[in-house]
Chain A
Amino acid sequence: MLQKGDTAPDFELNATPDQKIKLKDFKGKNVILAFYPADWSPVCSDQMALYNEMLKYFNKYDAQIFGVSVDSVWCHLAFEENRKLHFPLLADFEPKGAISKAYGVYDDEVGESKRALFVIDKEGKIAWSYLSPVAVNPGADGILDALEELSKK
């Protein structure tokens, strides 16, 4: 798993069937990546619902959050609509889990991303990362602490 100080690997992933998100387009902004095992599963749903309530906090720290799982764009769309999520979910779908692997948070045995958080600074360096037990929702206090630390620089 990539750690503080590592360069965040660039990626280009679909957020919707016709919209791709490139990490490098977000240079100059802080980026939060929340890798999670699967749409619809109980813990993930709560975790994403929590981040959904926190967008204005992230905004305050000039940070954009993306959820990342191996689900397809269509699955993400249905999940976003059902849970009224207001931030993009990226599909690490083809080749499956390639970005999760690049960040060192892919679980080969179950074929899903692990539950991991990354805060990437405005220069594209990883400022903080955290691997949570799969069944535990990691909350958001760690993300906020990392963003606060960055804002002091």
Chain B
Amino acid sequence: MSTLKPEINSVDHIQGDDAASIAIVEFGDYQCPYCGDAYPIMKEIEETFGHQIRFVFRHFPLANAHEFAFPAAIAAEAAGLQGKFWEMHDALYENQYRLNGELFDELAETIGLDLEQFQQDSAAEEIKRKIEDDFDSGVRSGVNGTPSFYVNGTKFDGGASDLYQMLKESAE
């Protein structure tokens, strides 16, 4: 059984309650259509289970297969430096159907980032390294495709809708 390595920590992007009993980690790629499909389901999971859920997103860009996956991850991290990782994360998935190299600045303006700062941060080495560290963590944790989910540190064998189903059943 594959387990999450390293565990959820302070460099992660975390949504939800620290005290939540269920921690879900997704390894995802912003250009991956299956991750795009999983996005609204994850939102639904967060809404339905509220305080019970803590959600973490780690990058797993398949850069050879998806040319905008890595740049999109950079955009999310650069937005994160201005405290708006999740706003950019949401905007990227909501606009996945028209993902291209020009989209990032547009989204940055839409979510109200300082554009000059955003562009400057997008070129930073440390952001690149953060994404590579996430990828590394995925590889070590046994990620075999995107999206891959971990529930309380253990790899979940299924997609987002299976995850929703499982949570619903265990809540009953």
Task: List residues of chain A with CB under 8 Å of any chain B CB.
Answer: 46-47, 49-50, 52-54, 57, 83-86, 136-141, 144
Report yes or no: A84 in contact with B140, Cβ–Cβ below 8 A: no
- A138: chain B residues at CB < 8 Å are 144
Is A137 a contact partner of B144 (Cβ separation < 8 A)? yes
Contacting residue for A86 out of B64, B139, B140, CB 8 A: B64
> For residue B50, which residues in chain A have a CB less than 8 angstroms away from its CB?
none
Nearest neighbor of A47 in chain B, beta-carbon distance: B144
Give bound CA distance, A50 to B82, whole Å. Answer: 31
Known: A50-B144, A50-B145. Contact between A140 and B139, CB under 8 A? yes
Residue pair A53, B62 in contact (C-beta under 8 Å): yes
**Distance in angstroms between the alpha carbons of A57 and B132 in the assembled complex:** 11
Q: Are B2 and A139 in contact (CB under 8 A)?
A: yes
- Sample of 19 more A-B contacts, CB < 8 Å, known A139-B139, A139-B144, A144-B139: A47-B144, A49-B62, A49-B64, A49-B65, A49-B145, A50-B62, A50-B144, A52-B65, A53-B64, A53-B135, A54-B139, A83-B65, A84-B64, A84-B65, A85-B64, A136-B144, A139-B2, A140-B139, A141-B141
Smallest CB–CB gap between B25 and chain A, Å?
Answer: 15
A121-B117 Cα distance, complex, nearest whole Å? 48
State in angstroms the CA–CA spacing of A150 and B63 once bound together: 28
Smallest Cβ distance from A41 to chain B, in angstroms? 13
Q: A44 CA to B142 CA in the complex, in Å?
A: 16
- Residues in B with CB closer than 8 Å to A136 are 144
Q: Which residues of A contact B142 (CB under 8 A)?
A: 139, 141
Query: Does B143 sit within 8 A of A, measured CB to CB?
Result: yes
20 residue pairs from A and B, CB less than 8 Å apart? A47-B144, A49-B62, A49-B64, A49-B65, A49-B145, A50-B62, A50-B143, A52-B64, A53-B64, A83-B65, A84-B64, A85-B64, A86-B64, A137-B145, A139-B2, A139-B139, A139-B142, A139-B144, A141-B2, A141-B140
**Could you tell me the distance in whole angstroms from the C-beta of A14 to the nearest C-beta in chain B?**
23
Contact with A along B16-60 (1 / 0, CB 8 A): 000000000000000000000000000000000000000000000
Query: Closest chain B residue to A143 by CB distance?
Result: B139
C-alpha spacing A65/B145, complex, angstroms: 18
State the CA gap A57–B2 with chains docked (Å): 19
> Given the complex, which residues of A lie within 8 Å of B63, measured CB to CB?
53
CA distance A49 to B2 in the complex (A): 20
B143 touches A139 (CB 8 A): yes
B90 vs chain A, min Cβ distance (A): 25
Q: What residue in chain A is nearest B146 (Cβ atoms)?
A: A46
Name the distance in Å between A131's Cβ and chain B's nearest Cβ: 15
Who on chain A is nearest to B61 by CB? Answer: A53
